[in-house]
Amino acid sequence: MEWLAIAAVVVILILIIVSNIAVVQQSRAYVIERLGAFQTVWGVGLHFKVPFIDRIARRVSLKEQVLDYPPQPVITKDNVTMQIDTVVYFQITDPKLYAYGVEQPMAAMETLTATTLRNIIGDLELDQTLTSRDVVNTKMRAILDEATDPWGIKVNRVELKNILPPADIQSSMEKQMKAERDRRQAILQAEGQKKSAILIAEGERESAILRADAEKQAAILKAEAEKQAAILRADGEAQAILAVQKATADALALLNEKAPNEQVIKLKSIEAMQKVADGQATKIIIPSEMQGLVGMASGLMEAVKK
């Protein structure tokens, strides 16, 4: 029986020792109290608490946590009631303050978030609320982070998840947005037509310039061709005149070589007079020394004809 009692005591001691050994996991912390007073904070690793004297007051997660609150009714500066739901990202940085700073920290966070949101939105009008989410987020994060410092909580981000205005205002906003889209579409169409007209006009102008250049080039080429033709005709006429003058000069040279007598010269003079008579002159003056010779030549020609 004594051995059984000893064995039972040993088992009980082992169970007590094992139950007072704690292993703290990564990203977690344990707040330890001794006889009801704060003793220490256990970090990651193996720890042993004094039996019946120490106790784990709170197990705290050091990871970043998310609180997604249901939609809260808020009133804007222009007396429009809307529903806004908020998401808060926070992290516990001081387990001791978190354990002893406030009763029910999560409920306190929710209440603080709702009141802060109402205060900020109350200073904004509807249009500002819808277009200033970043401003609201920044202000809420700064206010919540400062207010939760005594609780050992750091607020990292605050996001307005959704903003729901009243149904009639939402309908009016949709109509306004549709009108704005129609206006932008009309402006885009007008700009497109304007650009198209400008391109067409520029194309016609370029075409007219090209046609004018082509006509100018054609006129220049035609003038050059006429000039060349005139030059060639003038050269031909000059060559013909030179040929006639050369033939006349050759004939005179031949006559001079043959030493013509007075009768031959007079016959040539008569031939020249005949050519003159073929012209348009109505009166011909014949030198006196040629009159007898002309008469004799006329007689001879009459005799030949008979």
Least confident of 10-19, 44-53, 94-103, 138-147: 10-19
148 lies in which domain range?
64-165
Q: What was the pLDDT predicted at 305?
A: 47
Cα distance between the two ends of the chain: 201
**Domains in the chain: how many in total?**
4
Domain boundary (61, 78, 96) is at 61
Q: For residue 175, tell me if it sits in a domain.
A: no
Work out whether the CA dihedral 217, 219, 221, 224 comes out positive or negative: negative
> Does residue 29 sit in the same domain as residue 95?
no
> Does residue 70 sit in the same domain as residue 126?
yes
> Does residue 10 sit in the same domain as residue 52?
yes
Which uninterrupted H or E stretch holds 11? helix 2-19
Q: For residue 57, tell me if it sits in a domain.
A: yes
143 C-beta neighbours (distance < 10 Å), count: 19
Q: What was the pLDDT predicted at 302?
A: 52
* Contact of 89 with 128, CB cutoff 8 Å: no
Structure tokens that stand for 299 in this block: 């007689």
| Beta strands in 11-147, from DSSP E residues, in sequence order | 21-24, 28-34, 37-42, 45-48, 54-61, 64-68, 72-75, 81-92
> Does residue 159 sit in the same domain as residue 70?
yes
Domain boundary (61, 85, 110) is at 61
Q: What was the pLDDT predicted at 150?
A: 92
Asked if pLDDT for residue 294 goes beyond 80, the answer is: no
The CATH number of whichever domain residue 82 belongs to comes to: 3.30.479.30
> Does residue 84 sit in the same domain as residue 103?
yes
> Does residue 272 sit in the same domain as residue 238?
no
> Does residue 161 sit in the same domain as residue 124?
yes
Q: What is the pLDDT of residues 211-227, one digit of tens each?
A: 888 888 888 888 888 88
Beta partners for residue 87, in sequence order: 68, 159
Q: At what angle do helices 105-122 and 133-147 cross, to 10 degrees?
A: 140
Domain boundary (165, 198, 232) is at 165
Q: How big, in percent rounded to 5, are the helix, strand and coil portions of the chain?
A: 65, 20, 15
Locus of tokens 């088992």? 11
Q: For residue 178, tell me if it sits in a domain.
A: no
Asked if pLDDT for residue 299 goes beyond 70, the answer is: no
Beta partners for residue 66, in sequence order: 89
Question: Is the whole-model pTM more than 0.75?
Answer: no
Q: Within the chain, how many helices (H) and strands (E) appear?
A: 8, 9
The pLDDT confidence band at residue 286, using thresholds 50, 70 and 90, is low
> Does residue 100 sit in the same domain as residue 148?
yes
> Does residue 196 sit in the same domain as residue 247?
yes
> Does residue 196 sit in the same domain as residue 251?
yes
> Does residue 246 sit in the same domain as residue 265?
no
Structure tokens that stand for 3 in this block: 């051995």
Q: For residue 171, tell me if it sits in a domain.
A: no
Q: For residue 16, tell me if it sits in a domain.
A: yes
Q: For residue 177, tell me if it sits in a domain.
A: no
Q: What is the pLDDT of residues 173-195, one digit of tens each?
A: 677 777 878 888 889 888 888 88
Q: For residue 185, tell me if it sits in a domain.
A: no
Q: For residue 182, tell me if it sits in a domain.
A: no
Beta partners for residue 124, in sequence order: none
**CA pair distance 269, 271, nearest whole angstrom:** 5
> Does residue 79 sit in the same domain as residue 147?
yes
User: Residue 82: which residues within 8 A CB-CB, separation 6 or more?
Assistant: 73, 74, 76, 121, 126, 129, 163, 164, 165, 166
